[in-house]
Chain A
Amino acid sequence: MAKQQHAESWSNGKSVLRHGDVPFRVGTVVLASCVVGLVIAMGAIMFVSSSEARNAFGWDVLFGQVWNPVVTDVAQPTFGAWPSVRGTLLSSLVAIVIAAPLALGIGIFLAELCPPQLSTPLSFLVELLAAIPSVIYGVWGVFVFVPFFNEVFSKPVSETVGDYIPWLAGPVATGRGIMVTGIVMAIMILPTIASLTRDVLRLVPNTQREAMLAVGATRWETIWLAVVPYARAGVIGAVMLGLGRALGETMAATLLIGNSQRISESLFAPATTAASLVANELTNSVSSLHESALITVAFALFGITLALNLGARLMIWYVDRGMAGGRS
C-alpha cells in the first residue's frame, strides 16, 4: 500500500509513467518474437518453395548422381545434388580433421599454459581471424594459397604416391579442388573452435587441477586427464559449431573448389559444394523446377546447421550447468 502511494506521488499525474510497463513488455515481446518468427518463416518459405522438386524427385534431389538443368530435345533435366553434397561433406571433413586437433591445442595453450600477458593479445589475434570476411579468404586462396600449395604439395604428392592412393591421384591442373578448399576452411573455422574451447576449459573449476597436481601428475597429465575430460561435452560442442560453419561456407568454397559437377575420387580434383552450387546457379536458374531443386539444397543446409547448432548449444549448456553445480 505504501509502495503504491509512493509510486503515485513520484509520478504525480504522469499516468503514462505508471501504465508504461504493459506496452513496454508487449513491445519487447513482439519484437523479440520477430526473431523467432524469422526462423520459422525462413524454414517455411524454403519448405514451400522446395516442394516442386521434392515432389518430382523425392530424396533423389539430394542423393541423385546427375545434376543436369539443361533442357534438350533428347533429355529431360534431372536434379540430383549428390556431387555437391559429397563435395560439401568431403571438404568439411578435411577442414574438421585439420582444424579440430589444432584448435584443441590452441584452446589448451590459451587456457592453461600461456602466460597471462601473452594470452590477451593472442586471443585477440585468434578472434580477429574469425571476423575477416570469407571473400577475403577466397581472394587470398585464389592468388596466393592455391599456386603455393599446388607447387609445394599437390603436384609432388600426386606424382609420387598418387599412383597408389586413388584419392591423392593427379593430374593436378589449376590446383582448385576439395583439398585446398578444406584447408582454407580449416583456417576459417580454427578461431571459432579455438576460442570456444578456451572458454569451456576456463570454466573447469580449479579443484580439478589441484586434485590432479596433488597426486603428483605432470602439467600435461593434469590437462589431459582432469581438465579436458571435464569439459569434453563443451569441446565437442565447439567442434560441431565449427563443422556447421564449414558446411555452410559459401564464398571461399565457390572461389576455391572449381565448381565441377563431375565426381572424382581424387581430393585434388575440382568439385562443388552445396552452398556454392546455390550461389552459382540460383540467379541463373532456367526453370522453376531448377529453382526449386536449388532451394531444396539450401533447405537441407539450413536443416543440417540447425541440428548442429541445437546439438552444440545443448552440449555447451550442459557443461556450463554442470560446472555451476560443481562450484556451489
Chain B
Amino acid sequence: MNTTNNYRWRKFVDQIMRGSTIVATGCAVIPLIAIIGYVLTLGASALSVQFFTDVYQPPNMAKAATDGTTPAFDPNDPFAGIGIPTDGSAPADGSTPAEASVYAGGPVGGVLHGIIGTLIITGMGLLFALPIGVFAGIYLSEFRNERYSTIVRFCCDVLSGSPSIVAGVVIYVLVVIRNKEFSAVAGSLALMILMIPIVTRTTEEMLKLVPESMREAARGLGAPTWYSTFTVIIPAALPGIVTGVMLAFARGAGETAPLILTVLGSNVISTDLFAPMASLPLLAYRYTESPYPGENTLAWGSAFVLMMLVLIMNILVRVATRSRAGANR
C-alpha cells in the first residue's frame, strides 16, 4: 500500500514538473508572439509611400505643406501651440480644431534619411569588419590546434559579450573627441567592433564544416596550405560565410547605443561620412521619446523595418545553413 502511494506521488511530481516545463516554454513564446505581432500590425499600419520617400518634417510645417495652408503657428516659436489638447478635441483657447490636429494627427514625413544612413553606416562598418573577421576566422579554423588560437577565441567572446555601449564609449574617446565631430565613420568603427566577433565565429564554424577529406585531397595534390585554403576550402564554405556576414549586418543595423555616442543623428539626408548622419534605430529611439503621436507612429514604422530586416536575414541564414549542413552529412 505504502509503495503504491509513493509511486503515485512520484508519478504526480513527474506530471507536474513536465507540465511546468511546457508552461515555461509558453511563457517565452507568448512575449515573442506579442512583440512580433505588435510590431507587425502597428508597424505595418505606419507604413506608406511617404514613409519610405520623405525625410523628417516638423509636425506643424508638414501640416501646412500637405494642405497648402500657412503653418498653424510659428515653427520657430518654442511656446507656440502649448495648451492645445493632443486628443483632437477643441482647444480651450478658442483656436480651431485644425490646429489641434497638428498634434493629434497621423504621421508626417518619413524615414528615408534613416534608411540611407543605416545602409551607409552599417555597410561601411561591415567593410571594416570583413578583413579582420574573415582572416581571424580562417586562422581559428586552419590553425585550430595552436595555443594562441584559444586566446583569439576568448577575445572574440569578450567582444561579443561586452555591452554595445562600451564600443560606443571607446570610439567616442578615440575618434569623436579627437576630431571634435560626431561622424558616420565613427559609428561604422563602433559597429565594426560589434560585427567582428560575429563574422569571425561564423567563418570559423563554416570552415570547420568543410570535411577534412577535402583538405587532405588538396594536400595530396601538393597544394600549399594557403592555396588550398583560398581555392578549395573557402569556396566550399562561401555560402555559409556569406550568411554569417548577413547576420552581422542585421545585428549591426539594429544597434542603437553605440550610435548615440558616435553618429548622433540628423534630420536630413546626409552622405557626408565625416558629419553626423541619421540612422533607423536612432530614429526609433528618438521618436519613441517624442511627445507627438505622429512621430510615435514613425517609431513603430522604423521598428517594423528593423524587425523585417532581422527576421528576413535570420530566416535566410536558417535556410542556407540547413542545406549546407545537410550536404555535408
Binding site for B on A (CB under 8 A): 3, 6-7, 10-11, 17-18, 20-21, 23-25, 27-29, 31-36, 38-39, 41-42, 45-46, 49, 101-106, 108-110, 113-114, 122, 124-129, 131-140, 142-144, 187, 190-191, 194, 218-221, 224, 241, 244-245, 247-251, 254-255, 275, 278-279, 282-283, 291, 294-295, 298, 301-302, 305-306, 308-310, 313
Contacts and interface: CB of A to CB of B under 8 A. Distances in A.
Given A32-B135, A306-B158, A135 B222 contact: no
Contact of A20 (B10, B20, B143, B224): B224
B84 to A, nearest CB: 22
B206 interface: no
**SS class, residues of chain B in contact with chain A:** helix
B140 interface: yes
B229 interface: yes
Interface in B148-193: 148-149, 151-152, 154-159, 161-170, 172-174, 177, 182, 193
Contacts of B303: 135-136, 139-140
Given A17-B224, A302-B163, A302-B166, 6 more contacts: A20-B224, A110-B25, A133-B306, A138-B288, A224-B17, A295-B169
Contacts of B168: 279
A9 to B, nearest CB: 8
A129 B28 contact: yes
A133 B281 contact: yes
22 contacts: A25-B143, A35-B156, A36-B151, A38-B193, A39-B158, A41-B170, A106-B21, A129-B35, A131-B314, A132-B35, A133-B306, A133-B307, A135-B256, A136-B39, A136-B306, A140-B303, A248-B165, A248-B166, A279-B168, A279-B257, A306-B158, A313-B154
A255 B173 CA distance: 24
Given A102-B24, A140-B39, A298-B169, A36 B152 contact: yes
B14 A220 contact: yes
B281 A298 contact: no
B227 A20 contact: yes
Nearest to A128: B314
A169 B166 CA distance: 34
B258 to A, nearest CB: 9
Contact of A28 (B17, B29, B143): B143
**SS class, residues of chain A in contact with chain B:** helix
B159 A38 contact: yes
Given A20-B224, A36-B155, A295-B169, A220 B310 contact: no
A144 B24 contact: no
A34 B192 CA distance: 12
Contacts of A194: 28
Interface string B120-145: 00000000000110011011101100
Interface in B73-115: none
A218 B307 CA distance: 43
Contacts of B142: 28
B21 A278 contact: no
Nearest to B318: A124
A103 B20 CA distance: 12
Contacts of B250: 131
Given A101-B24, A143-B288, A295-B169, A133 B255 contact: yes
B69 to A, nearest CB: 31
Nearest to A14: B227
B254 A133 contact: yes
Contacts of A35: 132, 136, 152, 155-156, 159, 196-197, 200
Contacts of A248: 162-166
Contacts of B215: none
Interface string B42-61: 10000000000000000000
B277 interface: no
Most chain A C-beta atoms within 10 Å of own C-beta, residue among B32, B221, B251, B253: B32
A241 B161 contact: yes
A263 to B, nearest CB: 22
Given A135-B281, A137-B35, A144-B38, A108 B21 contact: yes
